[in-house]
């Protein structure tokens, strides 16, 4: 049995679709959808401005070994998000300044890692958004233990298929199957537009409780109590 398993490089998500998703906050989607959100303990090393949207390139590597992650850098393209399944390891950092630089140079827009990274200052200097569980000084090696590239994985408690749409911002990470993306986009865009209109109305002097209906509910309850 081959210890290294490699699937086909996925078709990039349509750039028109990714561009439209960059106008929607992930928390806006969280108002109507609960599936696909990666665990909240995967946090960005540095503040992320706006929403990022890209194509999932999936990697799974065991314990102390990062051989397949290094190899994966050869297939990363502009607009990709490298999503890494550490197969339960929480001690060894597979991503540092060197790998982050390689990913950024290849065109990756972000890395999602369900384990720790190392060299956090170098990664921030590289300018590649990295979402991970924390930082560790203990690193992986090229131990030739095996791994998977562009096959289904699990990251942060969410299944990820190569080619899935990955959305990232300061609130978190959302994995979207492509066949669900348009429906989510339509609903998310409508809600985002409504939120933007409400901000403008509040800036003009209207009250949040009046806009949301909360004040009406409170007043109704008080009237009943009287």
How much is the pLDDT for 67? 98
**Which of 1 and 64 is assigned the larger pLDDT?**
64
3-state helix, strand, coil in the chain (%, to 5): 35, 25, 40
Residues 79 and 191 in one domain: no
The per-residue pLDDT for range 135-192, each reduced to its tens digit, is 999 999 999 999 999 999 999 999 999 999 999 999 999 999 999 999 999 999 999 9
Backbone angles phi, psi at 140, to 5 degrees: -75, 170
The per-residue pLDDT for range 84-94, each reduced to its tens digit, is 999 999 999 99
Residues 164 and 213 in one domain: no
Residues making up the binding site for Mg(2+):
119
Among the listed ranges 100-109, 124-133, 177-186, 215-224, which one has the minimum average pLDDT value? 215-224
The per-residue pLDDT for range 2-49, each reduced to its tens digit, is 899 999 999 999 999 999 999 999 999 999 999 999 999 999 999 999
Q: Which spans in 73-213 are helix H? A: 97-106, 120-126, 178-203, 208-212
Please give the residue range of the domain that contains residue 209.
Answer: 187-225
Share of the chain above pLDDT 90, in %: 96
How much is the pLDDT for 134? 97
Residues 193 and 172 in one domain: no
Residues 39 and 123 in one domain: yes
As for how many domains the chain has, the answer is: 2
Residues making up the binding site:
96-99, 119
CATH of the domain at 73: 3.50.30.40
Share of the chain above pLDDT 70, in %: 99
How much is the pLDDT for 92? 98
The per-residue pLDDT for range 47-89, each reduced to its tens digit, is 999 999 999 999 999 999 999 999 999 999 999 999 999 999 9
Residues 165 and 213 in one domain: no
Residues 139 and 195 in one domain: no
How much is the pLDDT for 1? 63
At residue 223, does pLDDT exceed 80? yes
Residues 208 and 104 in one domain: no
Cβ(160)–Cβ(169) under 8 Å?
A: no
Residues 13 and 92 in one domain: yes
How much is the pLDDT for 165? 99
Residues 221 and 162 in one domain: no
Residues 99 and 199 in one domain: no
Residues 194 and 171 in one domain: no
CA dihedral of residues 10, 162, 83, 16 (deg, nearest 10): 60
Residues 173 and 199 in one domain: no
* In a domain? residue 182: no
| Global pTM value | 0.94
At residue 226, does pLDDT exceed 80? no
Comparing CA positions, the residue from 81, 76, 55 lying closest to residue 163 is 55
Residues making up the binding site for substrate:
96-99
SS3 66: coil
Residue with tokens 């009943």: 224
């Amino acid at each position: 049995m081959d210890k290294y398993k490699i699937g086909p490089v996925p078709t990039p998500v349509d750039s028109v679709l990714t561009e439209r998703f960059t106008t929607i906050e992930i928390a806006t989607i969280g108002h109507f959808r609960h599936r696909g959100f990666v665990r909240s303990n995967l946090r960005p090393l540095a503040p992320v401005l706006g929403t990022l949207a890209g194509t999932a390139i999936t990697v799974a590597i065991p314990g102390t070994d990062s051989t397949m992650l290094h190899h994966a850098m050869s297939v990363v393209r502009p607009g990709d998000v490298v999503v890494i399944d550490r197969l339960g390891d929480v001690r060894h950092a597979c991503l540092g300044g060197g790998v982050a630089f390689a990913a950024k140079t290849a065109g990756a827009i972000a890395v999602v890692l369900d384990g720790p990274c190392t060299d956090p200052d170098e990664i921030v200097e590289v300018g590649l958004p990295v979402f991970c569980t924390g930082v560790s000084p203990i690193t992986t090696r090229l131990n030739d233990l095996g791994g998977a590239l562009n096959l289904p994985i699990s990251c942060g408690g969410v299944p990820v298929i190569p080619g899935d749409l990955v959305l990232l911002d300061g609130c978190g990470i959302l994995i979207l199957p492509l066949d669900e993306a348009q429906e989510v986009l339509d609903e998310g865009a409508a809600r985002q537009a409504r939120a933007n209109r409400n901000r403008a109305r509040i800036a003009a002097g209207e009250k949040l409780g009046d806009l949301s209906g909360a004040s009406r509910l409170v007043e109704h309850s008080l009237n009943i109590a009287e």
